[in-house]
Amino acid sequence: MNCEKGEIDRNLHLMEEYIAAGQEKGMDIVCFPEMNITGYINPLQIPHAVLTIDHRAIHQVVKYSELYSMCVIAGFVEHNPMGKPFINQFIAHNGELLGFYRKKTIQDKEAEWFDPGDQQPVFSVLGVTVGLSVCADIDDPDIFSKYAAKGVSIVFESAAPGLYGEQETRNWLSDFNWWRSNCMEKLGKYAADGSLFIGVSTQAGRTIDEDFPGGGYLFNPRGECTAESGEWSEGVLYVQIQV
């Protein structure tokens, strides 16, 4: 999904289109990228897009899960009354907020803007045990091994890896290949080591001041990539998972 920074209503509208399309295809779960509701914001520059868990936008996504009988995984920048904001990825199903995961791996410039989470909850969806991870968590194999130890079957990795360099001279193919290779090397290994399915959803395309590589992937418990979007543009990867 292309997630414009601070454009909450625009992003919610686009989410509903994707969720409705998923319902038409008989999907049970739709997973959106990291911070897809708020966009990947600098919270100091766009403070109005730092939301609480009871913000109307979060309630709206929970309503979508009820309206379309869908499990929805989505992300936003969460207000933290005790410090810097969290990067929050939450899960809603049939009108109920099941819970949320706060990104644990906060690196580089993110350390100036965000605090890390310290919990790894798991969720039951349609009888399947699900875990969540976010972007730079890809660099911490311990997160995935802990999920495997908890009996998780599927980990959904939501990401928004910002691309370096000037937008005007962007080489989309090389940037897409960089993120794809990162997923293949690391997530494929974690999937095989933990006998996990791992699905990936990545922010795509150009925003007001930053670009994202896109890419959707599914790894099976043997570490094989069994499905991928194959390009960097905005779109959907539909897969059937036999758990």
The pTM of the full predicted model, rounded to 2 decimals, is: 0.96
Cα(115)–Cα(113) distance, integer angstroms: 7
Please give the pLDDT value at position 183.
98
Nearest Cα neighbor of 198 from 142, 155, 138, 135 is 155
Q: Which two tokens stand for residue 202?
A: 């990545």
Helix, strand, or coil (residue 42): coil
pLDDT in tens, the chain (243 residues): 999 999 999 999 999 999 999 999 999 999 999 999 999 999 999 999 999 999 999 999 999 999 999 999 999 999 999 999 999 999 999 999 999 999 999 999 899 999 999 999 999 999 999 999 999 999 999 999 999 999 999 999 999 999 888 888 888 889 999 999 999 999 999 999 999 999 999 999 999 999 999 999 999 999 999 999 988 899 999 999 988
Instruction: Catalogue the E-assigned strands of the chain.
Output: 29-31, 71-78, 86-93, 96-102, 123-125, 128-134, 154-159, 197-202, 204-206, 211-213, 216-219, 225-228
Q: What is residue 167's predicted lDDT score, i.e. its pLDDT?
A: 81
- Residue 28 DSSP label: S
Q: Residue 8 CA to chain centroid, in angstroms?
A: 16
Whole-number pLDDT of residue 33: 98
Return all residues near 109 (Cβ < 8 A) that are at least 6 apart. none
